[in-house]
Structure 1
Amino acid sequence: MLESNPRPGPFSDDLSASPEMPEPARDTRLIEVQSKSGSTGFACEPGETILHAGLRQGVTLPYECATGTCGSCRAKVGSGEVAVDWDEAPGHSRVKRERGEILMCQTRPLTDCVVRVPANVSVGFPRHALPQHFGGRLDVIRRLTPDVIHFELSLSQPISFDAGQFVLLRVAGLEGMRAYSMVSYGRNVRTLQLVVKRKPGGGFGNWLFEEAREGLFIDVFGPLGRATFHPDEDHNLLMIAGGSGVAGMMSILERATQEDYFRSHRGYVFFGVRKLVDCFYLEEFSRYVRAAHGNLEVTIALSDEDCGETCHAQYPEVQLAFGMVHEVCARAMEGRYDNVMSYIAGPPPMVDGALRTLIVGARATPDRIRYDKFG
C-alpha cells in the first residue's frame, strides 16, 4: 500500500534551517525489533522508513546498500500495518512478500509495528557517527569523462564521516534513494564531494547529466557504510575499485595522506576502467603517490585496451596494465599480502571477481576484507 505522506527533510532556500526530523507528532510510530539477540524498540517519525529511523537512533539493523537493491535489510512484519515506498525495488526479489517479509529501507509504518530480523541487533555504533537527515544544495557539477560527473553538495549542517562511507540521495520525481560514496574526507564539514558514472537506465545519473543544475536541492541521509579506514588498525592497504566505486578509495587515500600514514605503511590501488580515456582523478592519484614516501602504488587496469605502456605519459606516477582489475591485482600482489586490509567497491560482477581473488588466491579472511556492492 502506498501513500503520499511527505518524506522527512523538506528543503528550503535557507540551508541554515534545520534538516532534522520534525518534532514528534501524534502519528509517530513505535517499532519493536525482535532479533537473535533479543528485543529492541525505537520511534519512527512520520514519513520515515524503518531502517532510517533505527539507524539514526543507533540501532544496528542489517543493511548493505540501504537503497532497495541488495535485499540485506530483510525483515518480517509480526504485527502492524506498513506502506512500501518503492514497490519495484530490485531487492524485493529476495523477500517473500506474501508472507509479510519487507525491505526495511523501503517500508514506512502506518501503525505501531513488531518486525522480526534474522540477525543480531544491538544499540550503538562504536566506530561511526549516527546517520541523520540533511538538506543538500547542488553547488558544483563537473564532467570528468563523457559518462562520469564529479559533483559537490553544500549541506544544511556539518557532517562527520569516516573514510570509505557513503550517503543516500533523493531527488524529487525519482523513485527511491541512491547510494554514493564520498570522494573527500573530513570531520564537521559542510561540503560533500561525490562522483557518478552514468549507466543505462540509471535514473539519478540520467538526471544529473540531463536535468541537474547548480542550486537545486537534494535530500541527504548518512553517513552509512562499514567499509571504512581507521589508521589505528595499523594495516597495509589494498584497494580495488571499478568505475565510480573509486570514490571511497579516494576518501581513504585523502585521510591516509592527511595522517602521513604511508610513511610507515604500504598502499596498493587498482582502478579498473575500459580504456585510458575513461580514467579520471589521475592528477589526484599522482599527488597521493608523490606524498607517500615511495610506499604507494597506483595501477590503472584497462580491460578493453592494451596501450603498450607501463606508466601514464602525462602522469608517470600512475602505472598501467591490461586486463580485468581483479586479474591485474592478482598478478601484481602475489606474495605481497602481508598485514593487508583490503577494500573493494564497484559494480557487483567486479566486486565478486575481486572477492574470489582475495579469498581463493590470497587466502584472505573475511575480517580483512571490506567492500560495498552497489547495483
Structure 2
Amino acid sequence: MAFNVTLRQSGRQFQVEPDEAVLLAALRQGIGLPYGCKNGACGSCKGTVVSGEVDQAPHSSSALSNDEKTRGMALLCCATPKGDLVVDIREVAGVGDVQVKKLPCRVNALERKGTDVVELKLQLPANERLQYLAGQYIEFILKDGKRRSYSMASPPHHEGPIELHIRHMPGGTFTDHVFGNMKERDILRFEGPLGTFFLREDSDKPIILLASGTGFAPIKAIIEHAVFKNLNRPMTLYWGGRRKQDLYMMELAETWAREVPNFSFVPVLSEPDSTDEWTGRTGFVHRAVIEDLPDLSAYQVYACGAPVMVESAQRDFTNHHRLPEDEFYADSFTSAADLANPV
C-alpha cells in the first residue's frame, strides 16, 4: 500500500511505494526537491517530518546529526515512510522540466590540468542532445552497476562535447581508470542531468560563487551561462585550494575578471609553500568571503567542493553573517569514503 506525502509549504501531494525513498518517489513524479548525492552523504535533501514517521537508512553523521534527528529532521534520499507524512522542505522549481536520460557517450579528449586533475570531454551520439541546467551533474554507470557523479563544467548552450573535471583519488576504481587506462574513443554510459545545484535566474541579488578544488567545474558552467544570458548581477568567485596547482584553470578565471563586467576573482590558498611564490590571500576560502563581506544579508551564495568547506560556509554564513538560509545553494562533492562509517 502506497503512502501519501504532503509538502507543507505548497500543499502538493505525491505517493510513495513501500520501501521507496521519499526523494526518489518525488523525483519519479516530477516534483522537484533539493538533492545532491542521493546516498546519505551530502545533506542536501534534509527536511523536517512535521507529522508521521520514517525509517532512516544508514547515512553520514555529517549529513544528519543525532541532534537533528531528535528535532524531527530526515534525509529524504534514504528515508522510507511508515505511514502518511507531512514534510517541510523547500521545493525546487524548474528541475522537473528537464528530462533525465541514460545515454552512451564516447571519450572525445583527455587533457591533464595540473598533476591530479583531468579535463574529460564526452561526445554524445549524433542524434542526441542533453538539456540541463548550469551546475547540474551526471552519473557514470560502471560495469558493476556502481555509479560515480561528476558535475558538468560546460554550460548548457555550449555546442560540442560535455566537459568534466576529474580529480585523481588514488585507489578509487573509476579515477584510477581515468588516469591509467582510459583513452580517446572509449565508450562510457551515464545518466543525467541530475541535482538541484543551478543558477536561480529569478533573482537580482549579487552572487558569491565559492569553490574548492574541482568544485570549480559547476561554478564555471554557471559563470559562462550567466555571461551568455547577459545577466548583469555582480558576481565574485572565491576559489580555494591547498597549493597553487589546485587552481588548475586560474588563467581562465583571471580572464573573466578582466573581461566580464561586474565580475571579480579572489583566489585563496590554505597551504602555499615557497615554490608557489604566492602573494595572494591565504587561509580557508570561506573565511575570505567573511573578511570581505561580513554582512551577507543581500547576497546569494553558490558553494561547491569538499563537504567540510560547504558545511563550514553554510554554518558560518547563515548563523553569524546574516545570509538567509534559502539563499545558500550547495553541491557537496562526496565520495565513497564519505559513507565509510555510516550511522
Q: Take 1:115 and 1:194, find their aligned partners in 2: how far apart are those partners? A: 41
Read off the aligned partner of 2:138 and give its amino acid letter.
V
Secondary structure class of the residue paired with 1:221:
strand
The one of 245, 252, 257 equivalent to 1:284 is: 252
**1:267 Cα deviation (Å)?**
1.1
Name the residue aligned to 1:206.
176
Tell me how many residue pairs correspond in the alignment. Answer: 309
Larger of the two Rg values belongs to structure: 1
More off after superposition, 251-260 vs 300-309: 300-309
**1:182 Cα deviation (Å)?**
1.1
**1:251 Cα deviation (Å)?**
0.7
More off after superposition, 143-152 vs 183-192: 183-192
- Is 1:373 paired with 2:328? no
2:108 touches 2:161 (CA, 8 Å); kept in 1? no
1:343 touches 1:370 (CA, 8 Å); kept in 2? yes
The one of 211, 230, 240 equivalent to 2:200 is: 230
Q: Take 2:319 and 2:42, find their aligned partners in 1: how far apart are those partners? A: 24
The one of 186, 197, 203 equivalent to 2:167 is: 197
- Is 1:150 paired with 2:119? yes
2:14 touches 2:26 (CA, 8 Å); kept in 1? no
Name the residue aligned to 1:216.
186
- Is 1:240 paired with 2:210? yes
More off after superposition, 299-308 vs 62-71: 62-71
Q: Take 1:286 and 1:119, find their aligned partners in 2: how far apart are those partners? A: 44
Name the residue aligned to 1:331.
291
Secondary structure class of the residue paired with 2:129:
strand
Bigger relative CO (Cα 8 Å, ≥ 6 apart)? 2
- The alignment-based identity, stated in percent, is 25
2:15 touches 2:25 (CA, 8 Å); kept in 1? no
- Is 1:298 paired with 2:265? yes
Going from structure 1 to structure 2, the CA distance change for 1:214 and 1:253 (only over 3 Å counts) comes to same
Q: Take 1:365 and 1:184, find their aligned partners in 2: how far apart are those partners? A: 29
Name the residue aligned to 1:267.
235
The one of 224, 243, 256 equivalent to 2:226 is: 256
2:34 touches 2:90 (CA, 8 Å); kept in 1? no
Name the residue aligned to 2:27.
55
**1:343 Cα deviation (Å)?**
0.5
**1:259 Cα deviation (Å)?**
2.1
Read off the aligned partner of 2:230 and give its amino acid letter.
D
1:67 touches 1:168 (CA, 8 Å); kept in 2? no
The one of 141, 148, 166 equivalent to 1:170 is: 141
1:35 touches 1:121 (CA, 8 Å); kept in 2? no
**1:298 Cα deviation (Å)?**
0.9
Read off the aligned partner of 1:139 and give its amino acid letter.
N
Read off the aligned partner of 1:350 and give its amino acid letter.
M
Going from structure 1 to structure 2, the CA distance change for 1:64 and 1:331 (only over 3 Å counts) comes to same
Secondary structure class of the residue paired with 1:222:
strand
**1:340 Cα deviation (Å)?**
1.3
1:158 touches 1:188 (CA, 8 Å); kept in 2? no
Name the residue aligned to 1:79.
none
User: TM-score, normalized by length of structure 1?
Assistant: 0.68
Secondary structure class of the residue paired with 2:161:
strand
The one of 13, 16, 34 equivalent to 2:4 is: 34
More off after superposition, 344-353 vs 186-195: 186-195
Structure 2 gaps, min length 5: 47-56, 65-74, 335-343
Read off the aligned partner of 2:293 and give its amino acid letter.
M
The one of 82, 96, 103 equivalent to 1:134 is: 103
Describe the superposition over 1:249-301 as per-residue Cα deviations: whole angstroms up to 9, x where unpaired.
Answer: 1011101111232xx321111111111122211232123222322x2111111
Aligned CA RMSD, in angstroms, stands at 4.0
**1:361 Cα deviation (Å)?**
3.3
**1:208 Cα deviation (Å)?**
1.1
Describe the superposition over 1:33-85 as per-residue Cα deviations: whole angstroms up to 9, x where unpaired.
Answer: 53244863599xxxxx99768635514466431256447779xxxxxxxxxxx
**1:88 Cα deviation (Å)?**
10
Going from structure 1 to structure 2, the CA distance change for 1:149 and 1:89 (only over 3 Å counts) comes to farther
Q: Take 1:358 and 1:180, find their aligned partners in 2: how far apart are those partners? A: 26
Q: Take 1:217 and 1:357, find their aligned partners in 2: how far apart are those partners? A: 43
1:275 touches 1:302 (CA, 8 Å); kept in 2? yes
Structure 1 gaps, min length 5: 1-30, 44-48, 75-86, 95-102, 108-112, 311-319
Going from structure 1 to structure 2, the CA distance change for 1:338 and 1:140 (only over 3 Å counts) comes to same
Q: Take 2:33 and 2:227, find their aligned partners in 1: how far apart are those partners? A: 33
**1:192 Cα deviation (Å)?**
1.4
Q: Take 1:328 and 1:181, find their aligned partners in 2: how far apart are those partners? A: 25
Describe the superposition over 1:133-156 as per-residue Cα deviations: whole angstroms up to 9, x where unpaired.
Answer: 222222111110111111111223
Going from structure 1 to structure 2, the CA distance change for 1:276 and 1:72 (only over 3 Å counts) comes to closer
Secondary structure class of the residue paired with 1:271:
strand
